[in-house]
Structure 1
């Protein structure tokens, strides 16, 4: 029911944040901590969303680049 969905959502969010903490070690923006903050107004919430979106995009692009390098070396 609804409680189970809520529990799974919070577990998935926790796992995602822990993974982000590992990926953002040594970066200037404390990304995982920024995800945990509650917005004070919609402007701040939208700004944080843009920061999170851009950071996630950077992580995915870096991961894709590494996979492409491995594929090229394997051939």
Structure 2
């Protein structure tokens, strides 16, 4: 049960970060205008500190999901 609560908290945190920090990001929009969607997303994933934080939280969700299925 604790892992389910943890994954819920992580999902809420991801949603909050996307809403408050990523929504309307001018760098992403500029990259999207000049490149493809995947290249613009790569900037977020590998260059942006917020994107790196989101990646870590996503990895944490995968970890919780794995252990929930094992239980």
TM range (shorter): 0.3 to 0.5
Higher RCO structure, 1 or 2 (CA under 8 Å, sep 6+): 2
Q: TM-score, normalised by structure 1?
A: 0.42
> Whose helix proportion is higher, 1 or 2?
2
User: Max radius of gyration: which structure?
Assistant: 1
Q: TM-score, normalised by structure 2?
A: 0.44
